[in-house]
């Protein structure tokens, strides 16, 4: 027996040395993402986890449950509020009905460019929006990029706003996006991301709207071959942590989580820029019919009633004015 133990010991040690880093962590935070492994949002939270592990000497790590393993965004948001899931990387869209401040960066054509969005979200307005999560059992940590969202469909190319008339588009579960699509003369169907592919395939909807990397990785381009670069939304992603989880961390750990989240942002932006170009090239190669030149003026003008409906409080009006005044 002794000999056997002696023989086994080095093997056991070798196994330990090869064990994944997560096993060495005192506490592993579970983070949700709808996207697959390798998608920039998933990779960015994994990168944040590495920073956190290094900086806390293994006291805190993060494991990303990608590919909607923990559920669709709206459900995982609830679970994060309850503390069943520790962290969540989601679009701001599914928060619109709950947190009015998130509606502002979700307004169609509010940002002139991705750079404009960065200037706003990296500054005091971004901080105010992150702070608004605290009233909803969540702590807002950072914003990530999601490029610009445009319409795609299975029926015909959209060359002008009038081509949208009567068509059925899936939107994220946000009243603001329902009204946005209605104001463009089309019909909106809010539904979870995971149901979009089959809904287009079976003709329940004509199409949806998203950025290049999501259009690509979801496979929606296989069933909706017409993509029009109208770029109606530049809505950022947000990374949140459950207030329950947060309250269980020491002040130093909270600081480390905040800092690691912020420090993952520049890395995420690099990953995003590369992936966006890669996905666009892949879509062109896949033979998707792309309308690049489109007059956005009628689209922008059609959004006036949407702004009137959603930008009602002094707080939101002031935010919109400050965004428009930001370079
Ligand atoms: C993607 C975003 C996801 C999800 C998805 C959707 O661009 O990264 O978080 O919101 O869009 O349309 O549901």
What confidence tens digit (pLDDT) does each residue in 137-195 have? 999 999 999 999 999 999 999 999 999 999 999 999 999 999 999 999 999 999 999 99
Identify the band that residue 58 occupies on the pLDDT scale cut at 50, 70 and 90.
very high
Q: How many CA atoms lie within 13 A of 259 on its CB side?
A: 13
Question: pLDDT band at 301, cuts 50/70/90?
Answer: very high
Ligand 1 atom with the smallest distance to the CA of 93 is 10
Quote the crossing angle between the two packed helices 124-131 and 114-121, to the nearest 10°.
Answer: 70
pTM of the model: 0.93
pLDDT for residue 200:
98
Percent of the chain beyond pLDDT 70? 93
Residue with CA nearest ligand 1 atom 1: 214
Cβ of 193 below 6 Å from ligand 1: yes
Q: What DSSP designation does 200 have?
A: H
Nearest residue (CA) to ligand 1, atom 2 = 91
- Inform me whether the pLDDT recorded for 2 exceeds 70: no
pLDDT score at 325: 98
Task: Label residue 9 by pLDDT band (50, 70, 90).
Answer: very low
Q: Is the CB of 91 under 6 A from ligand 1?
A: yes
pLDDT at residue 18 tops 70: no
Determine whether the shortest distance from the Cβ of 92 to ligand 1 is under 6 A.
no
Q: Looking at residue 87, what is its pLDDT?
A: 99
Atom of ligand 1 nearest to the CA of 211: 7
Distance 73 CA to ligand 1 centre (A): 8
Q: From the CB of 214, is ligand 1 less than 6 Å away?
A: yes
Span from the CA of 152 to the centroid of ligand 1 (angstroms): 14
Ligand 1 within 6 A of 210 CB?
yes
In short, whether 42's Cβ falls inside 6 Å of ligand 1 is no
Please provide the average confidence, as pLDDT, over all residues in the chain: 94
Percentage of the chain beyond pLDDT 90 is 93
Q: Residue 62 pLDDT more than 50?
A: yes
pLDDT at 7 over 60: no
pLDDT at position 243 over 60: yes
Residue 23 has pLDDT above 90, yes or no: no
Residue 207 has pLDDT above 70, yes or no: yes
- Nearest atom in ligand 1 to 94's CA: 10
Token pair 């960065």: residue: 118
Band (197; pLDDT cuts 50, 70, 90): very high
Q: 221 CA distance to ligand 1 centroid (A)?
A: 15
Distance CA 229, CA 211 (A): 9
Cβ–Cβ under 8 Å, residues 250 and 155: no
pLDDT of residue 259 exceeding 70: yes
| Closest atom of ligand 1 relative to the 193 alpha carbon | 13
Per-residue pLDDT band for 24 (boundaries 50, 70, 90) equals: confident
Residue 27 has pLDDT above 60, yes or no: yes
Q: What's the 117 CA to ligand 1 centre distance in angstroms? A: 17
CA 91 to ligand 1 centroid distance, Å = 6
Instruction: Convert the pLDDT of each residue in 93-141 to its tens digit.
Output: 999 999 999 999 999 999 999 999 999 999 999 999 999 999 999 999 9
Among the listed residues 211, 222, 158, the one whose alpha carbon sits nearest the alpha carbon of residue 185: 158
Distance, CA 23 to ligand 1 centroid (Å)? 31
Residue 16 has pLDDT above 80, yes or no: no
Residues 6+ apart with CB under 8 A from 146: 91, 211, 214, 234, 235, 236, 237, 272
Measuring CA to CA, which residue among 60, 66, 103 is closest to residue 88? 66
């Amino acid at each position: 027996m002794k000999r056997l133990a002696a023989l086994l010991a080095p093997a056991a040690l070798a196994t330990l040395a090869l064990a994944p880093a997560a096993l060495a962590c005192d506490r592993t935070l579970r983070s949700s993402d709808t996207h697959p492994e390798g998608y920039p949002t998933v990779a960015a939270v994994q990168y944040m986890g590495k920073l956190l592990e290094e900086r806390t000497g293994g006291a805190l790590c993060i494991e990303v449950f990608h590919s909607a393993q923990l559920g669709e965004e709206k459900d995982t948001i609830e679970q994060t509020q309850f503390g069943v899931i520790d962290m969540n990387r989601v679009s701001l869209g599914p928060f619109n009905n709950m947190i009015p401040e998130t509606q502002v960066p979700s307004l169609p054509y509010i940002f002139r460019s991705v750079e404009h969005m960065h200037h706003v979200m990296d500054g005091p307005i971004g901080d105010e929006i992150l702070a608004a999560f605290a009233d909803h059992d969540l702590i807002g940590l950072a914003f990530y990029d999601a490029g610009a969202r445009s319409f795609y469909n299975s029926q015909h190319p959209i060359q002008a706003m009038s081509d949208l008339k009567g068509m059925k588009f899936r939107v994220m579960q946000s009243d603001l996006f329902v009204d946005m699509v209605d104001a463009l003369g089309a019909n909106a169907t809010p539904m979870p991301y995971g149901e979009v592919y089959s809904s287009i395939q079976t003709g329940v909807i004509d199409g949806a709207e998203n950025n290049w990397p999501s259009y690509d990785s979801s496979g929606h381009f296989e069933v909706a071959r017409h993509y029009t670069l109208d770029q109606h939304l530049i809505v950022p992603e947000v990374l949140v942590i459950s207030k329950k989880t947060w309250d269980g961390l020491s002040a130093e750990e909270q600081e480390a989580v905040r800092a690691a989240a912020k420090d993952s942002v520049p890395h995420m932006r690099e990953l995003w820029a590369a992936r966006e170009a890669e996905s666009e090239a892949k879509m062109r190669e896949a033979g998707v019919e792309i309308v690049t030149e489109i007059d956005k003026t009628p689209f922008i003008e059609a959004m006036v009633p949407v702004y009137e409906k959603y930008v009602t409080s002094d707080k939101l009006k002031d935010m919109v004015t400050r965004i428009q005044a930001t370079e």
